Amino acid sequence: MKRLFALLLCLCLCLALIPAAAAEDIEIVDIEPVEAGEVIELVDAEAVPNAKPSISSSPKSVTAYLGTTVKFTVKASGAESYQWYYRTSAEGSWAKSTSTGAKTATLSIVAEAKRNGYQYRCKVSNADGYSYTKNATLTVSKKPVVTEQPADAVALAGETVKFTVKADGATSYQWYYRKTADGSWNKSSGATGASLSVEVKSYRDGYQYRCKLTNANGSVYSEAATLSLLSKPKISTQPFSYTACVGATVYFKVQADVVDSYQWQYRTNPDGSWKTTSLTGCKTATLTVKVTAARDGWQYRCKLTNSQGSSYSDPARLTVSGDLCGEGLTWKFGGDGLLTISGTGEMYDYRSGGHDRPPWYSKRDRLLRVSVGSGVTRVGNFAFQDCGSLTEATIGSGVTAIGVSAFYSCGNLTSVTIGSGVKSIEGSAFSYCGSLTGVKLPAGLEEIGDNAFDACGSLTGVTIPDSVTSLGAWAFNGCSSLKTVKIGKGVTVIDEGTFDSCGALASLTIPSGVTSIGDWAFSRCSGLTSLTIPSSVTSIGGAAFEFCSGLTSVTIPNSVTSIGGGVFRGCSALRSAYVGNGVTRLGAFYSYGFFESCSSLTSVTIPVSVTVISDRAFRGCSSLSDVYYKGTKTQWGKITVYDENEPLLNATIHYNA
């Protein structure tokens, strides 16, 4: 009381000294309560902006043997003081720690049995504020705790390798081995120390070793370490064959363990003799080959050598396509800018980058239209990528799949006719087709891949047929002009980011078969004013409706049992919210708040099932006035409410609502 009186007296004196003309500029701000013993400093009005400590490394959870000393450490910039806290369980209340280093960056704790499951965090402070680290859990074991695992070993035949394990609390050791990674373990005779010496023999190549560590309270096993015999190179990745047009550049690559030198070879036919090549990269893991008509059918392989001998890669073949674009398919480019694909079968898959481009790639600036014939069964990967002049594409009825990035970044493509036989539109097939205004998806379509229509900024409407069962992540992300969406009955999962940043989307009906809505599924749909979540939905991911700034009300059905953090963050027009009784937690630890920055939110209904309201769940909800709680005042008092939820705590609670 004396301190409070002194502070009030000081304030009155300061006000008395302020000239009347200047009084108009005084702003009264919220004053954070101080703890007993803290010193209040008066700072200059021109102080730097808020710069509370920034934590770069939080303490890590630890498993330790009974009686050993463990350390929790925090790293932070701008720190002036530290205070460590602990709690006895994941849901318990925090208390100040008085253990060694409790006011430093490193806290030292003796691993006592009573501390098993304790959690620790640090409050890092300076004159501008404070930050908390993430929680770290201490697990105390009476059994031995391995502090250093045995490491894999690679050696020549005849050498001796040593496997070593380090542990706290071990009174005896016993090593075991097995011949294969899925074989049975056998006791290693006489191997009863912390280290095991093994003579390297050819038959032990691939053997694994582990140690059983024991004390009076039980045993634990170390991780398995593998012994590998140093031998001639072992090839892990073989070079693959190419089909490419004249003038393209292709790259044959090989990967292997323990290689001292490389030498690429070639032969002109499958029965010919191998010859050494001097092409670019011939003595490296990657051979560069310029495609010429003369090299059609040539094969390439690599000789890899080390001190133990040489290994040869599998042969890879170069096929020069000419006017072929698939087995049984040809292409023709006309003076009117029309590219025609005809014949029967699948198109070749092409690649993004400087090699294995489609044969018409050099004509892409003059390519205006594409016609894929009815005999074609698949449009190849990257077939028309970066064809910036392309305005129209017709895909025949025989096509069943449109490959990965097939029309990626065709920025002037405005019209696409997709044949009735298409079952799959693969990942990024039409990504960044910014002029595409509409697309009719066939009734038999089953799959829309990840990012399939990503950043199609002119697309205004889409109807997803009932036949679609797989709707990929970020499929329509960034379709900023998308006003109408009809999701078919076959969709059960709306994946992460599927409709993220579809700002023109004004209304949405989620079909009753949907059970899961992923992270960021409808994030930044700022035009969305109404939303119906069906009772079939059981989980909603984090930030699923983040920054839907036009949304005015929302009802979370009772069926929802799992819901992530920041779900409605930044929904600035949201006025009322109803949370169903399947939800047990509002928000997630160390995530954006559940209703954070919902500045228009005036009322919320919370069920009895909620036991935790996480950090920042209601931060910035400055209009919140009424909370309708389904339970009693006593039940409300048992809810754990974490930091930065002042608007909730200051609202009127209506019990048994």
Could you give phi then psi for residue 561, rounded to 5 degrees?
Answer: -115, -15
Tell me the residue type at 269: N
- Other Cβ atoms less than 10 A from the Cβ of 535: the count is 11
Within 8 A by CB and 6+ apart from 266, the residues are 274, 275, 277, 298, 299, 300, 301
DSSP string of 47-99, one letter each residue:
PPPP---EEEEPPPPEEEETT-EEEEE-EEES--EEEEEEESSTTS--EE--S
pLDDT bucket at 51, cuts 50 / 70 / 90: confident
- 3-class SS of residue 147: strand
Query: What average pLDDT does this structure show over 330-355?
Result: 87
Q: Which two tokens stand for residue 454?
A: 């990503």
CA distance 405 to 382: 5
- Determine the pLDDT at residue 528: 93
**Alpha carbon distance 11, 29 (integer Å):** 13
Query: What pLDDT is attached to residue 24?
Result: 35
Q: What is the pLDDT of residue 354?
A: 55
Segment 583-626, tens digit of pLDDT = 999 988 667 899 999 999 999 999 999 999 999 999 999 999 99
Tokens 């949201």 appear where? 574
Q: What pLDDT band is residue 353 in, cutting at 50, 70 and 90? A: low
Single-letter amino acid code for the residue at 252: F
Contact 345, 329 (CB under 8 A): yes
CA 328 vs CA 278, 324, 419, 624: distances in Å: 34, 8, 20, 68
Residue 232 has a pLDDT of 87
Amino acid sitting at position 216: A
Q: CA–CA separation, 578 vs 558, rounded Å?
A: 10
Give me the pLDDT at residue 222, please.
Answer: 97
Dist CA 358 CA 346 (whole Å): 14
Beta-bridged to residue 64, according to DSSP, are: 140
Q: Looking at residue 522, what is its pLDDT? A: 96
- What length is written for the chain? 657
Residues 416, 439 contacting (CB under 8 angstroms):
yes
What is the pLDDT, as a whole number, of residue 482? Answer: 95
Query: And the tokens for 328?
Result: 């049984």
Instruction: Check the CA dihedral 405-407-412-416 and report its sign.
Output: negative
**Unique residue bearing structure tokens 């011939």:** 282
- The CA-atom distances, in angstroms, between 637 and each of 239, 401, 581 are 66, 58, 18
73 three-state secondary structure: strand
Higher pLDDT, 486 or 248: 486
**Cα gap 126→140, rounded to integer Å:** 33
In the predicted model, is pLDDT for residue 464 greater than 90? yes
CB 57 within 8 A of CB 73: yes
Q: Is the pLDDT of residue 18 over 80?
A: no
42 pLDDT above the threshold of 70: no
Superfamily name and number for 145-229: Immunoglobulins (2.60.40.10)
- pLDDT higher than threshold 80 for residue 246: no
Q: Mean of the pLDDT values across residues 216-226?
A: 95
| pLDDT category of residue 20 using cuts at 50, 70 and 90 | very low
Q: Beta partners for 228?
A: 154
234-320 CATH, one of 3.40.50.2300, 2.30.40.10, 2.60.40.10, 3.40.190.10: 2.60.40.10
- In 3D, which of 508, 518, 455, 509 has the Cα closest to residue 481? 455
Cβ neighbours of residue 454 under 8 Å, at least 6 residues apart? 428, 431, 432, 474, 475, 476, 477, 478
Range(s) within the chain of domains with CATH label 2.60.40.10: 145-229, 234-320
Which one is predicted more confidently, 48 or 195? Answer: 195
pLDDT digits (tens, 9 = 90+) for 202-211: 899 999 999 9
Neighbours of 4 (CB within 10 A): 8
pLDDT at 43: 42
Q: State pLDDT tens for residues 108-132.
A: 999 999 999 999 999 999 998 899 9
Q: Which residues contact 354 (CB under 8 A, 6 or more apart)?
A: 249
Q: How far apart are CA 404 and CA 393, in angstroms?
A: 16
CA 251 remoteness from chain centre: 31
pLDDT in tens, 354-410: 557 888 888 999 999 999 999 999 999 999 999 999 999 999 999 999 999 999 999
Neighbours of 76 (CB within 10 A): 20
Is residue 17 over pLDDT 60? no
Contact of 530 with 554, CB cutoff 8 Å: no
The mean pLDDT value of the chain amounts to: 90
With a pLDDT cut of 70, the percent of the chain lying above it is 91
Distance of alpha carbon 607 from alpha carbon 370, whole angstroms: 57
Average pLDDT estimate for 551-578: 95
For residue 451, CA distances in Å to 31, 250, 497, 546 come to 48, 28, 9, 20
